[in-house]
């Protein structure tokens, strides 16, 4: 393949590459290509060794296949597949992928080890400068709005609980429709901060809400999985945490850990104010016997 052909191939998306090069593939490469085309949802989360086993070829052939497509190695091919399906997997497909990747005998350790890997990947890729800017913007905000729907409502609720101990200007947006969001964000303006959570499959309501807030001049913190996320384009401060969009259960362990760090960092910055708040709360909890 000459340089001009190589550059042309690299500019194509994955499926176009597969179809463009298919006739020139070897027998083993055609088998891989056919499996990816027919089962891209499963192939995206397989190791090179596992893909080779399923197709009936060697791991080295899989690696060479990735190189043939113009990728530096199999991890780049795997990432391209995951980017391709990021918002395409249905719940049924995700359930099938989960069943294929995990055996009933190792589910506990496999899931927990996967979560550990996601936290580690988040730590290694987080932009600490962006994180610091997000903290600064949060502390200086006139009003803070928090948005998280469906599974991310748990993250939004967690953040809202602690932010209400740290600030007196926080509002959790509870919605069942896009129009409800607009009504609750009606007065958002410059000087305000809107924090939005969204992970695959991305919520259209959250995307529209952050677009609205951005257009109104508010600062936006997007807590999501990557720069490819539709809410990242509206964020002044995008914060990325790794999730599992293969499993039918959204793994939000890494995002929750990021939120935890976010709250703690703000707590350190507002130490004196928080100390006074918790001293009052301890008195109230004691007087009204809140805890055993």
Residue extent(s) of CATH 3.40.50.10490 domains in the chain = 119-287
CA distances from 45 to 41, 51, 74, 141 (A): 8, 9, 12, 40
Average pLDDT over residues 237-253: 78
Quote the pLDDT of residue 273.
Answer: 82
Confidence of residue 244 (pLDDT cuts 50, 70, 90): low
Quote the pLDDT of residue 8.
Answer: 41
Whether 2 shows a pLDDT value over 80: the answer reads: no
Cis peptide before 201 (omega within 30 of 0): yes
Q: What rounded mean pLDDT belongs to the chain? A: 85
Quote the pLDDT of residue 129.
Answer: 97
Whether 285 shows a pLDDT value over 90: the answer reads: no
Quote the pLDDT of residue 102.
Answer: 57
Task: Identify the CA nearest to 224 among candidates 147, 145, 136, 109.
Answer: 147
Average pLDDT over residues 165-178: 87
Distance CA(194)–CA(187), nearest Å, equals 12
How many residues comprise the chain?
A: 292
Confidence of residue 93 (pLDDT cuts 50, 70, 90): low
Distance CA(88)–CA(232), nearest Å, equals 18
Confidence of residue 86 (pLDDT cuts 50, 70, 90): low
Quote the pLDDT of residue 278.
Answer: 83
Q: Which CATH number fits domain 119-287: 3.40.50.10490, 3.10.25.10, 1.20.1050.10, 3.50.50.60?
A: 3.40.50.10490
Q: Rounded to 5 degrees, what are φ and ψ at 72?
A: -70, -25
Distance CA(125)–CA(123), nearest Å, equals 6
What dihedral angle (degrees, nearest 10) is formed by the CA atoms of 2, 79, 106, 198?
-170
Average pLDDT over residues 67-85: 86
CA atoms within 13 A on the CB side of 286: 6
Whether 4 shows a pLDDT value over 70: the answer reads: no
Count of CB atoms situated within 10 Å of the CB of 93: 17
Least confident interval from 66-75, 150-159, 173-182, 212-221: 173-182
Residue extent(s) of CATH 1.10.10.10 domains in the chain = 3-85
CATH tag, 3-85: 1.10.10.10
Average pLDDT over residues 192-205: 92
């Amino acid at each position: 393949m000459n340089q001009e052909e190589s550059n042309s191939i690299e500019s194509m998306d994955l499926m176009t590459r597969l179809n463009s090069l298919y006739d020139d593939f070897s027998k083993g490469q055609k088998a891989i290509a056919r499996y990816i085309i027919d089962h891209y949802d499963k192939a995206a989360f397989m190791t090179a060794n596992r893909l080779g086993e399923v197709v009936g070829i060697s791991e080295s052939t899989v690696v060479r296949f990735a190189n043939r497509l113009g990728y530096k190695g199999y991890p780049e091919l795997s990432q391209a597949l995951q980017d391709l399906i990021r918002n395409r997997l249905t719940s049924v497909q995700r359930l099938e992928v989960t069943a294929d990747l995990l055996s009933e005998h190792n589910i506990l350790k496999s899931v927990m080890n996967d979560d550990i890997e996601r936290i580690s990947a988040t730590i290694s890729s987080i932009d600490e400068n962006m994180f610091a800017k997000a903290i600064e913007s949060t502390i200086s905000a006139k009003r803070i709005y928090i948005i998280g729907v469906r599974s991310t409502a748990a993250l939004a609720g967690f953040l809202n609980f602690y932010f209400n101990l740290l600030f007196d200007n926080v509002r959790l947006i509870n919605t069942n429709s896009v129009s409800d969001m607009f009504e609750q964000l009606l007065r958002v303006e410059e000087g305000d901060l809107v924090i939005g959570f969204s992970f695959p499959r991305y919520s259209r309501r959250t995307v529209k809400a952050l677009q609205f807030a951005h257009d109104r001049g508010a600062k936006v913190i997007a807590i999501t999985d990557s720069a490819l996320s539709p809410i990242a384009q509206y964020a002044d401060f995008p914060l990325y945490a790794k999730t599992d969009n293969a499993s039918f259960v959204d793994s939000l362990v890494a995002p929750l850990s990021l939120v935890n760090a976010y709250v703690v960092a703000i707590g350190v910055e507002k130490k004196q104010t928080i100390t006074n708040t918790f001293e009052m709360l301890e008195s109230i909890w004691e007087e009204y016997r809140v805890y055993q």
